[in-house]
Structure 1
C-alpha cells in the first residue's frame, strides 16, 4: 500500500497531500503541533518566516514523476528548498521541517496509484498503525460526509488544518446576505480566493463590519454584492480550543504567507 522505505523514512498522509520527511527532520512529535505550510510560489521568502511561532514547518511543494515515482523539484525551487531547514532554524533551532509533496495542482492519478485510493476513501487502519499523524483539511468543502476519528483514526494522530484565506462570492441579492445565501459566482478575484491579509485590507478600506456565526464557526462580511467568508482571530482561537478539547495532536495552517503580521499564527 505504501511506498518503499527507500523513498522516504517517514510518511504522513494529509488529505490530498503526501508528505515525506526525506532529508528534512523527523515528523514524529510527542507534543502539541503548531504547524504551518510555506509555499515557494507565494513570493514570500522563507527567511521572513517567524519560525519561533511554530513547532513544524512544511516546505511546499515537491512533485512526483508519473513513471518512476521519484521526487523532483523545479530548478527555481532547488536552492530554496535545500536551504529551507537552515534558514528557519536561525530563528527557532528546535523547529522541525518537512517536505510536502503534490499539493492542490498535483496529478491525482500519479499519487493514487501509490496508496490505491479512490476519491473518497483512505486506508485509515493502516494510517493508524504506521503514521505519526495525519493533517486533516477542515475547509474547502460545503459539508463533511465523514469524519476521521469515527473512521478509526486516534484523535492524538489528527492535526487540524486551518485556512489562512477565505472566499469572496458575488451575491445574487445584496439584501440576502446570510450564511448560505444564493451567489452567482466568485468576487474580487477570478476564483474568489483571498488571503487573510488581503481580506483585512479590503474590509478596512470599506469600513465594513465583520460578523461571526457560531453555528458554522466562521467570520464573514458583506460589501455591496460581495460576500466574504473567512477565519478571523476569534475563529482560530475557537478551533484551536476545540482541537485541544478533542485531544487532537495540534493544528496546521495553509499557508503562513497569507497571515497579516502573524496575527493568526
Structure 2
C-alpha cells in the first residue's frame, strides 16, 4: 500500500534534530522553535518479546518529551526513534524475519507512540546486511505502514509519521535497499551522510562527512544520487549531517592534508569530538583551519593532532545543496554533551537553513 504524505498542510520542509537520552542536555532546554520535528532517541527492542520498550531510566523524559518541547513550539512534531548505532543488529534481524515477531514490534511501537503523545516513529536499524535482511526490512516497513493506516482509520486520528535512518547510499556494500517499498511505506528517510572517515576504521585522515569527494564514491552527493536514481523521491529524503568531528594523530606533523597517514585516534578513545571541543582546541592550540571546497569539508591541525569536521561554510553549502536537489530537509546528529553549545554556534546556520529551504 503506497503512502501519501502525512506532513502538515502547507509544510514542505523538515528541519529536525535528534535529542539523545545519553545527553546531559535537559529536554526542557531544547529551543523547539528552531525545528519542525524532533526525535526522541532511543527506544529499545526486547529480543525476547520483539516488543519496543523504553528503559526505566528514560521513561519519565520519554513520556513527557512531546508536551515538554511543545511548550515553546506547539506545532513541533515528535518522533520516537527506535534502535541506534549501539543496538544489537541481530535482534532486529531476528525480529524482522517472521510475520509474528514483526507484528509484535509494530503493534508495540504504535501503542507506545500513542501512549506518550508522539506524532510518529523512526526506525534506526544500522543496517540490514544480507539479502534476506533487506527483504525482511522491506516487509517490516510495508506491514508497519498498513498497521499505521489501519490504526488511524479505526481511531479517527491522524496517521503516525513513519521514518527510518538509512545508509548514506541505497546500496549497502553491494546490497540494494528495497527502495520502492521504502518509498511507498515511509514519509521520509534520514540519510546518514557522515562517519565516512574515522580513526576506528581509517588509518588516514579524511573528511568525516564530505559532500563531494573527487577521489572516492564515499560522499553525500554520491549517496543521494544513488537513492534518487533507484527510485526514492527527492522530497522524501532528509540529509543527515554531524555536529561533531573526528581527531587523528598524524604520523608526520608536516603531512597534514586529507588522506595523510596516521597512527590512531587523538583527544578521545575513538577520536570523536564535539563542536565545542573543536573550537576550544583551535583557540587553545592556535590550530590552522582549512575549508576544502572540493570535498566541502573542514579540518584543523596543530602539531600531530588533526581534526576533520563540518564548520559554518560546509553546513551552509549542504543546505544550499539540499535545496538545489529538491530534498525534504536536513537532520543533524548531536553529540552527548554539547547540544546547547552546538545549537548556539550553529544559530546562523539554522537561520540560513530557514531562508534557503523556504524560498
Q: TM-score, normalised by structure 1?
A: 0.85
Q: Which runs of 5+ in 2 are unaligned?
A: 98-127, 131-171, 198-217, 351-359
- Tell me if structure 2 keeps the 8 A contact 1:27–1:98: no
* 1:6-59 residue CA offsets vs partner (Å, 9 max, x unmatched): xxxx9xxxxxxxxxxxxxxx9735421111000011111111111111111000
Structure 2 counterpart SS, 1:149:
helix
Higher strand share goes to which structure?
A: 1
Find the counterpart in structure 2 of residue 16 from structure 1: none
How big is the shift at 1:122? 2.0
Distance 1:140 1:27 in 2: 30
1:197 correspondence with 2:276: yes
Shift of 1:73: 1.3
State how many pairs are aligned. Answer: 241
Q: Which of 73, 81, 85 is matched with 1:100 structurally?
A: 81
Cα distance in 1 for partners of 2:327, 2:52 equals 30
Equivalent in the alignment of 1:65:
46
Of 126, 140, 143 in structure 1, the residue corresponding to residue 181 of structure 2 is 126
Seen in structure 2, the aligned counterparts of structure 1 residues 262 and 60 have a Cα distance that, compared at 3 Å, is: same
Deviation at 1:260, TM superposition (A): 3.0
113-122 vs 128-137, which deviates more? 113-122
1:240 matches 2:251: no
Larger fraction in helix? 2
Alpha-carbon offset, residue 263 of structure 1: 2.3
Compare relative contact order (CA 8 Å, sep 6+) and give the higher one, 1 or 2. Answer: 1
Q: CA RMSD in A?
A: 2.0
Bigger radius of gyration, 1 or 2?
2
Unaligned runs of 5+ in 1: 1-9, 11-25
Instruction: Find the counterpart in structure 2 of residue 40 from structure 1.
Output: 21
Q: Find the partner of 1:89 among 67, 70, 79.
A: 70
Deviation at 1:197, TM superposition (A): 1.4
1:210 aligned residue (278, 285, 289): 289
- 2:83 pairs with 1:28: no
Which residue of structure 1 aligns with residue 57 of structure 2?
76
Distance 1:111 1:54, change over 3 A: same
